[in-house]
Structures are given as C-alpha cells and as structure tokens.
Chains A and B, each alone.
With several copies, the nearest count.
Chain A
C-alpha cells in the first residue's frame, strides 16, 4: 500500500461525498421556496438509502468479479472487503470512494422531477435504480465488464454517472409528468446564491471526483486535476459570451450551469486529454448544452432543472470528445481521433448508446413497476401548497413569528386584565 495514495483517496472520497449536499444547494436554489426542503431532501436522502445499499449490495454487483454484464454476489454485505490492499489503498476505502459516486448519481436524477414527485416513491426509485441500473453500468465500464474490455474510455464517469443519470431523469420527467403550472407560469429560482454556492462546492468536490479517479496521488491525478480546473473555466467564458451576445446579460444561473456543464464534459476525459485539449473541450461543450437548455424551455418536457441539457448533453459531448482529443503524450496509453486513432470515437459512441439504452429502458420499467404500488405524483393540493409542507411537514423559512403549539392549552384563562370600557366606548 502507498500512504500518499491513501491520503489522497481519503480526502478525495470526503470531497465527493460533499458533492451531494452541494447538489442539494445547486438544485434547492432553483426551485420555489415552497419546495426548497423537498428538493434538498431528495439529495440528502440518497446519502442514507443509496449509501447503505451500496455497501450491502451495490458494490458487489458493480465491482465483484462476475461476468461481463454484472458483478457476482461475492462481496455482498462487504464480505471479503476489508483493509487489505485494492491497488495501493485499503479495499474498504476504494469501496467508499465508489459509493460516493453511486450516491450522487442517484441524486442527480431528482432535478428532473422536483416540485411534484412524491417523496416515498422517489426514495424507493433511487434505491432500486442504484442496484438495477447504476451498479451494472458501473460494472461494464469500471468493474471489468464488456465496455471496459472493448476499451471504452470513461475516466471518472461521463457515461456511468452523467449520461446514465440524465437518461433516467428524462424517463422520470416523462413518467411523472409535468408540474401543473409548467408553461403557464415562469417558475423562477427562489435563491440564486444557493445555486452559486452549490456550483462552487460542486467544483471543489469534483476535484476529488476526477483527480481521485486516478486512485493514486500521481501524475495522472495531476493531469485530471488540471483538466478539471481548465475545462469549466473555458465553458464559463464561452457561456458568458453566449449569454452576453444573445441577451446582453450574463446571468448568474447561467454561470452556475456553465460550471457544471464544463465539469460534466471533462469528467470522462479528465485523465486522457492534455490541458489545451481540456480548454478546447470545455469551450466546445458550452454550445450544445446552451442551445439544448434554451430549446428544452420551449418544449413541453418538464425536465425541471435541466438534467438532460447539463448532464445528458454535456456528458455525451464529453464522452465523444474524449475519443477525439485523448492524447497519449499526456495519458501514456491512448490517442483519440485528432491524434490519429479514429477507432476510439467509435468505441465511445457504442458505450454512450449502450448506457442510454439500458438506463432508459430499465428506468422506465422501474418507474412503471413502482407506480403500481405507490403513486408517483403528489396530489394537486399538495403540489400547490408546496411539497415542503405536504411531504415533510416543514417550512424552509419562517420569519418573525412565535407560533403556538397545537398541543399546548391556551395560555390566558387566568385573571384577564381589567378592560377600560370608557376608552373603547369613546370611538363608536
């Protein structure tokens, strides 16, 4: 084992775990205040349910030997997963690192169905989805499955995490249906600073996500770190210029979105492209997501927080450009199209399509199956008054009011102060 690698993976794992609360703020700021807590809880609850189930089942399905399609059950309940080395770090630490990916991937889906999906159905959905959809695809790409055998490149999860979550989000948005006032009213963010906070904290965490995916404190991690810093910077520049050209305003929601799009796009490429490649990739990635977002807002698809435009489009662009810009001079192993290896792009396309197909079909089946037992949608009245109250019994913000407990008997009853009749009489 290598202690420096352990140090780096300890902190990387902590950072990736923190991305889920960060996502809660990124998403939570974009909804209306009556749904703020519900939206945040959709991320936080993944830390619990997906976290526990990953340790019990998901890790084995994804990373136990098994076959090309799925891992076997040899590591269920963390059997045979201890402090022995897995690579250069303790096996349990590797399990944790991968667990944080499962947690955030499941939480990402929530962006498509906020403000209307019933919380209980959501919890059941993401719990099963992690087992049935996420774990197998993780196995294909990182667990020795068929896509890894085919040579698909996905450094930190463009396909496994982002495309996968985005397709599930698209399916969920369709199955759950649109918000009742969608397209009748401009549903605008209640707290943009929260969204900026989320974007900033996501970037911090993403260094663990991408550079941690080197699973070592080495040159590969440094490369992934560099590209994770440069690509979103380029996306932010291009997005800001697009915003300024189109409407003469550089929006803050746009900036937060740009950062996430740049991070998503560089994810599959992080350890494969060089720094200038990262700038190019980040800059290019801004355009399709920017257009997808504008276009989506005009359709009847209520992918409320644009998971598809950010993670689906951004992830796909990143996965394909990995096949174009991969640079052996930096990664030491493989070139992309522009460096003379067109075959890589073909493999990337297959990987993307396979993930889309599997995630789409299985997410649909899952949601329909859950819908047989649990209503997927909140009641109209609950949707109108907000899910914070109906699903969680809480209000996100309460100002200036001391409110009686229902249980408490009315206070007074004792001596009521003498009432100055004369004074009152004066007015009538």
Chain B
C-alpha cells in the first residue's frame, strides 16, 4: 500500500481529482499548503519586499501498489502546465490504512 502525496497548483485540484477518479481512486484527502522552490514570489509591506509563498494544494491518496504507476502518470499528465511551480508527487510506503467505519485494514 502506498501513500501518494501530490502537491499541485490549486487550480489543478479538480482536474487531478477527476483523473484519479477515472482510475478508480475515488477517496482522497486534500489540504491547503504553501511552498517555494525554483519559483519565488515577493510581496510588499510598507514599501519593503518580503518572500511570499505559492499557494498549493496537497492531495493525499492511499492506493494499492499496483496502481502506483497509473496514478503517477495521470497526475504528471493532468497537473502539469510546464511552467515553473507545477509541484511534486511524493511516493511513500504505507504499512496499513484502516477505514474507521468498517474497522478494516487495507485500501477500501
């Protein structure tokens, strides 16, 4: 079982989520994050610049191992603009995942 954490542009959220759904991955958890990397922005206060962060959305999906390739492919396709600031896809191993409602382990 894997946890895939996709850090994408906020306006790519739906496209990415819909694409995951078409792979049968319908459950996901999202959160608002901010980031920086090759792309940087600055904002101003009282005439002085300070570094602002880009607003990104992190999408966490728990999937079975055999879906990993497909999920990565789909995210790289759909969340990409080719311009700096597109984000990252992190792949982590997961020991287990319980569905609280059913008390069952494993992807459900």
Partners in one complex: yes
Determine whether A372 belongs to the interface, using a CB cutoff of 8 Å to chain B.
Answer: no
B9 touches A416 (CB 8 A): no
Determine whether B52 belongs to the interface, using a CB cutoff of 8 Å to chain A.
Answer: yes
A406 touches B46 (CB 8 A): no
Q: How far is the CA of A251 from the CA of B44 in the complex (A)?
A: 8
A385 touches B41 (CB 8 A): yes
B54 contact from A186, A385, A424, Cβ within 8 A: A385
> In residues 55-104 of chain B, which contact A (Cβ within 8 Å)?
55, 57, 68-69, 72-73, 76-78, 80, 83, 91, 95-96, 98, 103-104
Q: A403-B14, A427-B95 are in contact. Are A247 and B44 (CB under 8 A)?
A: yes
B52 touches A419 (CB 8 A): no
B8-35 CB mask vs A (1 if < 8 Å, else 0) is: 0111011100110010000000101000
A406 contact from B10, B50, B76, Cβ within 8 A: B50
User: How many residues in A have their beta carbons less than 8 Å from beta carbons of B?
Assistant: 47
A24-45 CB mask vs B (1 if < 8 Å, else 0) is: 0000000000100000000000
Sort chain B's interface into a size bin: 35 or more
Q: B69 — nearest CB in chain A belongs to which residue?
A: A424
Task: Give every chain A residue within 8 A of B104 (Cβ-Cβ).
Answer: 423
A407 touches B49 (CB 8 A): yes
Task: Give every chain B residue within 8 A of A425 (Cβ-Cβ).
Answer: 69
Task: Give every chain B residue within 8 A of A402 (Cβ-Cβ).
Answer: 10-11, 13-14
B68 contact from A298, A306, A417, A428, Cβ within 8 A: A428
Determine whether B42 belongs to the interface, using a CB cutoff of 8 Å to chain A.
Answer: yes
Q: Number of residue pairs across A and B with beta carbons under 8 Å?
A: 116
A406 touches B49 (CB 8 A): yes
A399 touches B46 (CB 8 A): no
A417 touches B77 (CB 8 A): yes
Q: Which of A150-158, A272-280, A340-348, A388-396 contacts B (4 or more CB under 8 A)?
A: A388-396
B43 touches A406 (CB 8 A): no
Q: How far is the CA of A298 from the CA of B45 in the complex (A)?
A: 12
A394 touches B57 (CB 8 A): no
Task: Give every chain B residue within 8 A of A406 (Cβ-Cβ).
Answer: 42, 48-51
Chain A's interface: helix, strand, loop or mixed, by majority?
Answer: loop
A389 touches B10 (CB 8 A): no
B46 touches A404 (CB 8 A): no
Task: Give every chain B residue within 8 A of A384 (Cβ-Cβ).
Answer: 9, 11
Q: A402-B13, A427-B105 are in contact. Are A294 and B49 (CB under 8 A)?
A: no
Q: B12 — nearest CB in chain A belongs to which residue?
A: A402
Q: How far is the CA of A384 from the CA of B56 in the complex (A)?
A: 12
The distance from the CB of B108 to the nearest CB of chain A, in whole angstroms, is 12
Q: A181 — nearest CB in chain B belongs to which residue?
A: B11
Determine whether B37 belongs to the interface, using a CB cutoff of 8 Å to chain A.
Answer: no
B18 touches A294 (CB 8 A): no
B45 touches A426 (CB 8 A): no
A-B contact sample (20 more), CB < 8 A, given A417-B80, A423-B105: A34-B55, A185-B14, A293-B47, A296-B46, A297-B48, A385-B41, A385-B54, A395-B52, A400-B57, A401-B14, A405-B49, A406-B50, A412-B15, A417-B77, A419-B76, A419-B77, A423-B98, A423-B103, A426-B96, A428-B68
> Can you spell out 15 A-B residue pairs with CB atoms less than 8 angstroms apart?
A249-B44, A298-B48, A399-B32, A400-B10, A401-B30, A404-B18, A405-B49, A406-B51, A407-B49, A412-B78, A419-B76, A420-B103, A423-B98, A424-B73, A428-B69
